[in-house]
Structure 1
Amino acid sequence: MPIIQWYPGHIAKAERQLKEQLNRVDVVLEVIDARIPLASHHPDVPQWIGSKPRILVINRVDMISESARKDWLAWFKAQGENPYFTDAKQGKGVKAIEKAAQETGISINQRRSDRGMLSRPVRAVVIGFPNVGKSALINRLLGRKVVESARRAGVTRQLKWVRISDHIQLLDAPGVIPIKLHNQKDAIKLAICEDIGEAAYDNQQIAAALIDLLVELNYEEIFLSRYQLDPIEITGEQYIHTLGNNRYKGDKERAAMQLLNDFRKGLMGELSLEFPP
């Protein structure tokens, strides 16, 4: 498979602007994808934010099983984290995020008061890879649509301050991604989950990788029940070829997009592509 790399100009610009704004920010909300919590964590975030408080938001919890959620919760707690699981699209878990940000603001304003300064709304920034649900989270926090949100990477292109309440101001930032994706297994997972721009990959190759990965994770029964085609004795590439012949008059691209969209929309079921180490 060709190497997956994606770093368009708007992301480079957004990263520069984000770093400039971080000194004005009190707390960082890092949003990651529940299906791939490790692959969707930007490795530079700890360096960027330094000692600032960080709220870890694991979004799309509706797309993984309850047992997987519990396993990830236990693992992150063992790492000293206190993750918040959300389904930003439906609003599940969002109130807890708002409360956590407000509590951070209370301690920040107490320190300001101790220094003879006036209190002010807590300034938070929402960061993460493209398409992990940052804008959907902000819209839910506000209670109405103020920033554009869609199921594709690269929708947010400008940094924008949004006043959530008298207590919180949020900076909506475009998705950020490392200049180089050194771990190509993670890059493939990002492509499968649509957390990277589609210009970075070939749909048929990523769909084949999805099949191979799901078989490796013992999800092969999904293919039998949904597509009436057993993936065990063939490669992902061969599977797409056969599915294209069986269903779409030899159209492999259509078969690949069917598989990818079925996974991305949750039609295959609650599937995790990563489990705690």
Structure 2
Amino acid sequence: MSIIQWYPGHISKAERQLKEQIKNIDVIFEVLDARIPIASHHPNIDRWIEGKPKIIVLNRMDMIPETLYKKWLSWFKEKGETAHFTNAKQGKGIKFLNQLAQEAGNLVNIKRAHRGMKPRPIRAVVIGFPNVGKSALINRLLGRKVVISARRAGVTRQLRWIRISKTIELLDAPGVIPVKLENQKDAVKLAICEDIGEAAYDNQQVAAALIDFLLELNFENILKLRYKIDPLNITGEEYIEKLGNNLYRGDKERATIQLLNDFRKGMMGCVPLELPNS
């Protein structure tokens, strides 16, 4: 497979501005894709936030089996981190995020009061890879659509402050991504989940990798039942070729797009690409 790298120009500027603003932030929401919580974690975020309170938001909870919820929460707890599931599209889990932000901010105002300072609104920021659902989450927190939300990477391009209520201000930031994607297995997962720009990868290679991941996680029955092709004992590339022959008169690219869209839109069901013990 060819190397996957993606670092559009606006991200470099946004990252620089974000790091400058962190000193003004009280609480950080790191939004992860629930299908790939490990691969969608930016390796530099913990260094940037300098020990400030961080709440991990596992978005797209509707796209993984409910049996994984407790397991992932325990996995993060073992690492000393607080995680919370949301479905920003439907608004599930959003009220609790507001509460968490308020609680973290109250501690800031208690410290200010001890220094003889007046209370001020809590400042929160939403950080994460492109297209993990940050904009949809912000719209839900606000209770109205104020930021553009779309199923593609790189829609938000500038930082801006948004007042959620009298007590909470939120910094909307573009998706951030490492300059170099060192772990190529994770990079492929990001591509499969559409969490990086499509110009960074070859569709057929990524779809073939999706087949391989599903086999690795023992989800071969999903493929067998949906496409009537047994994926065992053949490669991902061979599976796509068979799918193209069966559905689209040998058109592998159309079969590829079908496969990727079926996964991305949840047509295959609740299918994770990572498990808590991986």
Counterpart in the other structure of 1:273: 273
In structure 2, the residue matched to 1:229 is 229
2:190: which partner in 1?
190
Matched residues in 2 for 1:221 and 1:80: separation?
36
- 1:12 CA displacement: 0.8
User: SS of the residue aligned with 1:83?
Assistant: strand
Structure 1 gaps of 5+ residues are: none
- SS of the residue corresponding to residue 31 of structure 1 reads strand
Q: Give me the whole-angstrom Cα distance separating, in 2, the residues matched to 1:131 and 1:214.
A: 22
Query: Is 1:133 matched with 2:141?
Result: no
Pairwise mapping of residues 181-260 of structure 1 onto structure 2 (< 5 A)? 181-260=181-260
Query: Whole-Å Cα distance in 1 between the matches of residues 165 and 256 of structure 2?
Result: 44
Kindly report structure 1 stretches of 4+ aligned residues shifted beyond 6 Å.
none
Name the CA distance, whole Å, in 2 between partners of 1:124 and 1:74. 25
State how far apart, in whole Å, the 1-side matches of 2:121 and 2:183 are.
39
TM-score w.r.t. the length of structure 1 is 0.98
Amino acid at match of 1:30: E
CA contact 1:77–1:83 (8 Å) conserved in 2: yes
Q: Identify which range, 74-83 or 151-160, moves more after superposition.
A: 74-83
Per the alignment, residue 74 of structure 2 pairs with 74
List aligned pairs for 1:140-155, cutoff 5 A.
140-155=140-155
CA distance in structure 1 between the aligned counterparts of 2:61 and 2:204, rounded to whole angstroms:
27
Deviation at 1:61, TM superposition (A): 0.7
Tell me how far apart the structure 2 counterparts of residues 224 and 148 of structure 1 sit (CA, whole Å). Answer: 37
Rounded to whole Å, the distance in 2 between the matches of 1:54 and 1:210 is 31
C-alpha contact 2:248 2:255 (8 A) present in aligned 1: yes
- Deviations 1:115-155, CA, capped at 9 Å, x for gaps: 11111110011000001111110000000100000111111
Q: Deviations along 1:39-91, whole A, 9 cap, x unmatched?
A: 10000001000121111111111101111112111111111222110001101
Alignment pair present for 1:7 and 2:7: yes
- Report the Cα distance in structure 2 between the residues aligned to 1:268 and 1:222, rounded to whole angstroms: 7
Query: How big is the shift at 1:233?
Result: 2.0
- SS in structure 2 of the partner of residue 28 of structure 1: strand
Tell me, in whole angstroms, the C-alpha distance in 2 between the residues paired with 1:70 and 1:259. Answer: 29
Letter in 2 for 1:144: R
**TM-score, normalising length from structure 2?**
0.98
CA distance in 2: counterparts of 1:24 and 1:80, whole angstroms: 24
Q: Name 2:103's counterpart in structure 1.
A: 103
Matched AA of 1:40: S
Q: CA separation in 2, counterparts of 1:74 and 1:26?
A: 25
Aligned partner of residue 267 in structure 1, secondary structure: coil
Contact 2:54/2:82 (<8 A) preserved: no
Q: Contact 1:153 / 1:195 at 8 angstroms: preserved in 2?
A: yes
Percent sequence identity is 70
Q: Read off the aligned partner of 2:120 and give its amino acid letter.
A: R
Question: Helix, strand or coil for the counterpart of 2:274?
Answer: coil
Instruction: Tell me which amino acid in the other structure corresponds to 2:221.
Output: E
1:194 aligned counterpart, secondary structure: coil
> d(CA) in 2 for partners of 1:30 and 1:199?
25
What's 2:46 paired with? 46
CA RMSD in angstroms, aligned pairs only: 0.8
Tell me if the contact between 1:68 and 1:272 (Cα under 8 Å) persists in the aligned partners: no
Q: Deviations over 1:172-221 (max 9, x none)?
A: 10000001111000000010011111111011110000011101111111
Q: Distance in 2 between matches of 1:211 and 1:9?
A: 32
Contact 2:5 2:200 in 1 (8 A): yes
1:169 Cα deviation (Å)? 0.5
Q: CA deviation at 1:112?
A: 0.8
Q: Determine the C-alpha separation between the residues in 2 that align with 1:193 and 1:85.
A: 18
Residue 261 (structure 1) aligned with residue 261 (structure 2): yes
Q: Does 1:179 align with 2:179?
A: yes
Partner of 2:167: 167
> What amino acid does structure 1 have at the position aligned with 2:237?
E
